[in-house]
A = this chain, B = another copy of it.
Amino acid sequence: MVETIQWTEAGVVMIDQTRLPREQVFVTCRSYQEVAEAIRSMVIRGAPAIGVAAAMGVALGVQEGVDLETVCATLAETRPTAVNLFWAIDRMRRLRASLNGLTHSELVDRIIAEAQRIREEDIGICRAIGKNGAPLVPDHKTVLTHCNAGALATAGYGTALGVIRAAAESGKHIDVFADETRPFLQGSRLTAWELQQDGIPTTIITDNMAGHFLRSGRIGCVVVGADRIAANGDVANKIGTYSVAVLAKENGVPFYVAAPVSTFDLSLPSGDAIPIEQRSAAEVTHVFGVPIAPENIAVANPAFDVTPARYVSAIICERGVAGPPYEESLKNMLR
């Protein structure tokens, strides 16, 4: 599996997720501003991966000798919904505040080591999520997933795809239906590409086919990632997640969310308070530069939606599986 993001002597190296699967191109971010731009333009995306990128961006800024608050503010402005971004920035800021009496060189070493640690921890967290979630996946059925909560959305292995990988590794006979996930096509471009490499049978469907197949009886469960989970269990995730959740419930199919505890935001009582990013019209009106709509047409492009907790069968994190009522179970996970 290709590495999503790595710290190197030359800078932060990422695979360019805007160009997959047609081209495997790596970009090297040499400044914190370049990391911020890579997050904004979705060269790197996925809540946990954004967190790792932000931590490495802070490390680049400190290395450059830029004022820490300037660096953190720039990175925090890139994307509003995934809370892992702010979690990673806060963790780096707290570490910096705890370090006194070091030379610049010693300080830089510690900051870089922390960013690398966040990356390594993330891989372990994904493995634990996979292990916790695998028993929930019905054998001899199809798993439906939306967007890409895979290795590319994390430092490796994935959250939702971690559950799928762990279920397959445990010997279950499963295949995957991947919603293509317009407009950015994370499902057809990224999830299908990842799972194809793993040899897990994968079928691409357009987003509007999910309901049809949920009704058909072949889908054993839905597993998706998350960008932010409120204290009551409401889940912000890629636009379309809410629709899949409603259709799953309507058809008696379990709907699971797989995410690290760094995605929990218990400061928000419900999903209504989660900021939803609005992205550019061009993402909807053009596909790889090809126009698919009339000129000068209005477009709405919310990048995320909120799935109320009542549609969520369970939330799978690295510490276990949380069920309703989520006010209690999520708090217990953070204890």
A292 & B211 in contact (Cβ 8 Å cutoff): no
Q: Mark A293-306, 1 if CB is under 8 A from B, else 0.
A: 11011111110010
Q: Is A213 an interface residue (CB 8 A)?
A: yes
Residues on B with beta carbons closer than 8 Å to the beta carbon of A215? 242, 305
Q: What size tier do the contact residues of chain A reach?
A: 35 or more
B207 & A293 in contact (Cβ 8 Å cutoff): no
For the residues of A in contact with B, the DSSP-based class is mixed
Q: Is A45 an interface residue (CB 8 A)?
A: no
Residues on B with beta carbons closer than 8 Å to the beta carbon of A182? 180, 182, 206-208
Cβ of A155 to closest chain B Cβ, rounded Å: 22
B239 & A247 in contact (Cβ 8 Å cutoff): no
A299 with B204: in contact, given A246-B250, A293-B21, A294-B21 (CB under 8 Å)? yes
A240 with B213: in contact, given A182-B206, A203-B300 (CB under 8 Å)? no
A188 with B243: in contact, given A206-B207, A305-B211 (CB under 8 Å)? no
Complex Cα spacing A292 to B207, Å = 14
Complex Cα spacing A179 to B212, Å = 17
Complex Cα spacing A302 to B215, Å = 13
Residues on B with beta carbons closer than 8 Å to the beta carbon of A188? 284-285, 292-293, 297
Say which residue of B177, B196, B285, B287 sits within 8 Å of A204 (CB atoms): B285
Q: Is A201 an interface residue (CB 8 A)?
A: yes
A212 & B242 in contact (Cβ 8 Å cutoff): yes
Cβ of A180 to closest chain B Cβ, rounded Å: 7
A305 with B243: in contact, given A22-B291, A192-B297, A196-B297 (CB under 8 Å)? no
Query: Nearest chain-B residue to A214 (Cβ)?
Result: B243
A239 with B206: in contact, given A213-B300, A247-B246 (CB under 8 Å)? yes
Q: Is A193 an interface residue (CB 8 A)?
A: yes
B206 & A284 in contact (Cβ 8 Å cutoff): yes
Query: Nearest chain-B residue to A196 (Cβ)?
Result: B294
A298 with B243: in contact, given A287-B292, A290-B288 (CB under 8 Å)? no
8 pairs from A and B in contact (CB 8 Å cutoff): A192-B293, A204-B297, A209-B300, A213-B300, A243-B243, A246-B247, A246-B250, A247-B247
Contact surface of A with B, Cβ cutoff 8 Å: 21-22, 146, 177, 179-183, 185, 188-189, 192-193, 196, 201-213, 215, 239-240, 242-243, 246-247, 250, 284-285, 287-288, 290-294, 296-302, 305
